[in-house]
Copies of this chain bind each other. A is one copy, B any other.
């Protein structure tokens, strides 16, 4: 099989993970990454043998740091069949004209406005609609988490209403200048938060309102959610459906004593996962509670890695490489993504 050539423009939290994931795909070749600053991540990429492209003016800086440069970002885009843009929020849109002028397909991340792309994407929800789309936006980590739950619940009974609170992590582990370190911050203070609107870019016809606050932690987001579904549902049916859905894993707190985001991450470290990433949504099984047509639950979202498999699937959808089930299976197998219980 001839491999498609993928470029990753932006090499931070998401970009470095997507680049690693691409290198594990049987049908993809990573031709290089775009990086503007010669920091420790660039040094590691170079050591791994990943080709680094940068903007013309910064080539000297990279060479001073002893990092090899393969060319300019424009050179990289020219060589690619598709570009995964993982530049910072809002920067992706400024690169779009370059991708367009060179006639390349491109993926954008959730930090861009929805209209940057032809479609917003979440693999379990709308893979098929994204087939052949030239520009696809992979929604943000929180929206990805919500959509996996909502689209899976939809299989049991139509989700009519969602009321969710998003407790966001304050900073990623590597970030040394972000806070808060001792405050809870409504973010935004106004209701509804943008997450509700973002869910509706992927699935329609749901009455959804979200509220969001930031908490001083780096490990994971945590959502509390109340879903109102068309027909009365059974707790066991929900658990069984989740257990059979890839990219959703359950943690049984009473049996395993894992009952926080810190302990979930510790399990991932003990499992030897690279960077302790958890691309699965992690549902606290004990929190699943039904009350008539309402379903309550709490789950964790690993902000750094949850969108990685989504980006891989979106590449295949955009270029028409595989159907939904096949792509999800290959992505899960190559990245070691689980279903069932965490432990």
Contacts and interface: CB of A to CB of B under 8 A. Distances in A.
B217 A216 contact: yes
B191 A259 contact: no
Q: Name, among A163, A182, A222, A286, the residue most crowded by chain B CB atoms within 10 Å (CB to CB).
A: A182
Interface stretch (A130-138, A270-278, A290-298): A290-298
Given A211-B298, A216-B217, A167 B184 contact: yes
Given A163-B163, A183-B219, A184-B220, A298 B191 contact: yes
A186 interface: yes
B287 A183 contact: no
Interface string A194-221: 0000000000000001010101111111
A211 to B, nearest CB: 4
Contact of A189 (B188, B220, B286): B286
A298 B261 contact: no
A165 interface: yes
A186 B191 CA distance: 23
A248 to B, nearest CB: 17
A180 interface: yes
A189 to B, nearest CB: 4
Contact of A296 (B167, B191, B263): B191
Nearest to A182: B217
A167 B215 contact: yes
Q: Name, among A221, A222, A289, the residue most crowded by chain B CB atoms within 10 Å (CB to CB).
A: A222
A163 to B, nearest CB: 5
Interface string A155-191: 0000000010101010000000000101111101111
A306 to B, nearest CB: 15
A253 B300 CA distance: 28
A260 B180 contact: yes
Contact of A298 (B186, B220, B263): B186
A189 B253 contact: yes
A186 B288 CA distance: 12
Contact of A167 (B213, B219, B254, B286): B213
Given A167-B167, A215-B167, A291-B209, A259 B298 contact: no
Interface of A: 163, 165, 167, 169, 180, 182-186, 188-192, 209, 211, 213, 215-222, 224, 226, 253-254, 259-263, 284, 286-289, 291, 294, 296-298, 300
21 contacts: A163-B226, A167-B167, A167-B184, A167-B215, A180-B260, A182-B216, A182-B218, A183-B219, A183-B261, A184-B215, A184-B220, A184-B260, A184-B300, A185-B261, A186-B284, A186-B298, A190-B287, A209-B289, A209-B291, A209-B294, A211-B287
